[in-house]
A and B are shown apart, each in its own frame.
Chain A
Amino acid sequence: MTVEISELMDGELDAAAAETLVARISRDPIPREDWALYHLIGDTLRGAAYYSPALAPEVSSRIAREPAVLAPRRGPRVSKAARWGLSAAASLAAVAVVAWMGLRGPLEPGPAQMATLAPAGTPVPQPAPAMTSAVNDYLVAHQEYSPRFAMQGLAPAVQTVAFPAEGAAR
């Protein structure tokens, strides 16, 4: 993780990774120490020889006693996160492979499977499932964003409203 701190301070992490890392080091004393140390090294290399071990802790404890500043949310609702999301998703499909998933409806609930699959081309008969699990709705929504679904534009089919006529079949 410290190599990421090194990257972070050089501004070389992409926005999403930076966000995650910043969240993490805000909370954890060890990476905070590395952050502090790496900056000390940089400053020292640039000739800023100043040592005041009490300064930062003092500021920190005084701020802890301050009321939290909360800036009003400014700017459009679609924030940096949106830009990260889009650019990362576009490149998500990087290793997307052809038709990783076939067209299908929501997955049925069922016992945990250790799949022993017949060779491709010999379909395995299916038990008649009941489509009631709350998780199924999530599974469908998830599939849409999985990079392995990024191929083939399958999501609209998968996200389809339940097939009323078919009911429990598939």
Chain B
Amino acid sequence: MKFLVAAALMFAAVPALAVDSAAGEGIKWLERMGSAARSQNFSGTFVYQQGNRVDTSRITHYVDDGGNELEKLESLDGPEREIIRRNDEVRCYIPGSKLLKVEKRRGRKAFPDLLPEQVSAVAEHYRVRLGGRERVAGIECQIVILEPKDDMRYGHTLCADRDSGLLVKAVMLDENRQVVEQFSFTQVIIGGVIDPAHLKPRFAATPGEWREERLAPPVISETGWSIANSPPGFKKVMEMKRAIPGKGAEVTHIVLSDGLVAVSVFIEPLGGDKPPRSGFSRRGGVNVFARPVSEHMVTVLGETPVSTVQLIGNSVSYSGR
């Protein structure tokens, strides 16, 4: 089997993928974006919009001399929340409920270990090309366009700071080229010195007053369910039985991804208190399709066109124990 590490090493040794130069440029920008997010100091305010909802947040990211990543995310509207991350360990403060959730994000690192192999996997299913330039939050940016090669996924327009490569704006467009989601910095400072004191939590989660929950990492296992059909490039990246807050029985959760977006398949036994109804629905950029299979309700949802969740949903079956 191909081992991703070996592939990455191999890529270091052979010439770059033979794509046309514009796409090659685009791919380099994608790599820069990932690397900048991981290695740059930056601090700013960003807005995330999907449908009618808008969330504003402040983020500070800092890499210390030991190469440790420290990051703080604060919500600026809605319920007060703050997340402090140090490499893999994430601490989420919710003062309203006096709740501190601690989790180790193994394998899902917040800042990517960007393997060229994975970027080229995205390039297989999206046409990656450079657009023009745009000014975002006072920053001169390069536009990179990801056009889906099929109609099973949405397109993306990304804007990255020309100096550092940091992503400052990203827009996801549906099949009608309507914006379904948008992320954008409204103000950001990239590079420079950051006082680590800014990354301390605002709330002292005093035990006794605050509840601390340590979330165990999920146990990935085969569930006996299989998905026969998925769009090209969508690979299974996670499979497990888990407890979902709000649901009674354990639910099977399988995630497929093409490297850029994910589709989740949830399978719950029928008879629970609030199973979803079968059929289609949509939440902003997320399409949902549910159908019953062997005494279970299968719900597929993802940031993709309807045809994708439908294709996947129609090919779910139980194959094993």
A39 at the interface (CB under 8 A from B): no
Chain A 35-91 residues near chain B, CB threshold 8 A? 73, 77-79, 81-82, 84-91
B63 at the interface (CB under 8 A from A): no
Contact present for B108 and A92 (CB under 8 Å) = yes
Q: Which residues of A contact B62 (CB under 8 A)?
A: none
Q: Which residue of B lies closest to A100 (CB)?
A: B183
- Give min CB distance, B227 to chain A, whole Å: 7
Against B, the Cβ 8 Å flags (1 = close, 0 = not) of A92-116 are 1111111111111101111011111
A5 at the interface (CB under 8 A from B): no
Q: Which residues of B contact A27 (CB under 8 A)?
A: 228
Against B, the Cβ 8 Å flags (1 = close, 0 = not) of A132-165 are 0111111111100111101111111101111111
Q: Which residues of A contact B220 (CB under 8 A)?
A: 78, 81-82, 85-86
Against B, the Cβ 8 Å flags (1 = close, 0 = not) of A1-28 are 0000000000111111111100110010
Which among B55, B109, B275 is the interface contact of A104 at CB below 8 angstroms? B55
Chain B 67-90 residues near chain A, CB threshold 8 A? 71, 73-75, 77-79, 81, 83, 85, 90
B236 at the interface (CB under 8 A from A): yes
A121 at the interface (CB under 8 A from B): yes
B237 at the interface (CB under 8 A from A): yes
Contact present for A79 and B1 (CB under 8 Å) = no
Q: Which residues of A contact B276 (CB under 8 A)?
A: 133-135, 138
- Give min CB distance, A151 to chain B, whole Å: 5
Chain A, interface size category, equals: 35 or more
Q: Which residues of A contact B110 (CB under 8 A)?
A: 93, 96, 150-153
Chain B, interface size category, equals: 35 or more
Which among A105, A113, A154, A165 is the interface contact of B284 at CB below 8 angstroms? A113
Q: Which residues of A contact B61 (CB under 8 A)?
A: 98
B23 at the interface (CB under 8 A from A): no
- Give min CB distance, B100 to chain A, whole Å: 10
Given contacts A98-B37, A142-B264, contact A163 B96 (CB under 8 A): yes
Binding site for B on A (CB under 8 A): 11-20, 23-24, 27, 73, 77-79, 81-82, 84-105, 107-110, 112-118, 120-121, 123-124, 126-127, 133-142, 145-148, 150-157, 159-166, 169-170
Binding site for A on B (CB under 8 A): 1-4, 30, 33-34, 36-37, 46-57, 59, 61, 71, 73-75, 77-79, 81, 83, 85, 90-92, 94, 96-97, 99, 101-103, 105-115, 117-119, 121-122, 158, 166-167, 169-170, 176, 178-186, 215, 219-222, 226-230, 235-240, 242, 244-247, 253, 255, 257, 259-262, 264, 266, 274-276, 281-286, 288, 299, 301-303, 319, 321
